Structure 1
Amino acid sequence: MAAPDLLFNLRNNFYLGAFQAAINNSDLPNLSPDDAVERDCLVYRSYISLGSYQLVINEIDSSAATPLQAVKLLALYLSSPDSKESTISSLKEWLADPAIGNNPTLRLIAGIIFMHEQDYNEALKHTNAGGTMELNALNVQIFLKMHRSDYAERQLRVMQQVDEDHTLTQLTSAWFNLAVGGSKIQEAYLIFQDFSEKYQMTSLVLNGKAVCCMHMGNFDEAETLLLEALNKDAKDPETLANLVVSCLHLGKPPSRFLSQLKLSHPDHTLVKRAAAAEEGFDRAVQSVA
Structure 2
Amino acid sequence: MAVAAAVPDHLFNLRNNFYLGSYQAAINNSDLPHLSPDDAIERDCLVYRSYIALGSYQLVINEIDSNAATPLQAVKLLALYLSNPHDKESTISSLKEWLADPAIGNNAILRLIAGTIFMHEEDYNEALKHTNAGGTMELNALNVQIFIKMHRSDYAERQLRVMQQIDEDHTLTQLANAWLNLAVGGSKIQEAYLIFQDFSEKYPMTTLILNGKAVCCMHMGNFDEAETLLLEALNKDAKDPETLANLVVCSLHLGKSSSRYLSQLKLTHPEHILVKRSSAAEDSFERALQTVA
Give 1:287 deviation, angstroms: 2.0
Give 1:288 deviation, angstroms: 2.2
Give 1:194 deviation, angstroms: 0.3
Determine the structure 1 residue equivalent to 2:270. 266
Letter in 2 for 1:19: Y
Structure 1: distance between partners of 2:94 and 2:289: 47
Give 1:273 deviation, angstroms: 1.0
Q: Does 1:214 align with 2:251?
A: no
The runs of 4+ residues in structure 1 deviating greater than 6 Å are none
Structure 2: distance between partners of 1:210 and 1:54: 32
Over the matched positions of the two proteins, sequence identity in percent amounts to 87
Unmatched 5+ residue regions in structure 1? none
Letter in 1 for 2:111: R
Match of 2:243 among 239, 263, 278: 239
Give 1:235 deviation, angstroms: 0.4
Determine the structure 2 residue equivalent to 1:117. 121
Q: Does 1:26 align with 2:18?
A: no
Give 1:83 deviation, angstroms: 3.5
Structure 1: distance between partners of 2:21 and 2:83: 20
Give 1:281 deviation, angstroms: 1.6
Give 1:279 deviation, angstroms: 1.6
User: How do residues 64-213 of structure 1 correspond to structure 2 at under 5 angstroms?
Assistant: 64-213=68-217
Give 1:3 deviation, angstroms: 1.7
Give 1:283 deviation, angstroms: 2.0
Structure 2: distance between partners of 1:93 and 1:280: 40
Unmatched 5+ residue regions in structure 2? none
> Contact 1:76–1:83 at 8 Å: present in 2 too?
no
**CA deviation digits over 1:83-140, x for unaligned, max 9?**
3111111111110111100000000000000001110000000000000000000000
Structure 2: distance between partners of 1:286 and 1:112: 40
User: How do residues 268-287 of structure 1 correspond to structure 2 at under 5 angstroms?
Assistant: 268-287=272-291
Scaled by the length of structure 2, the TM-score of the pair is: 0.97
Structure 1: distance between partners of 2:284 and 2:121: 26
Q: RMSD in angstroms over aligned alpha carbons?
A: 0.7
Letter in 1 for 2:206: T
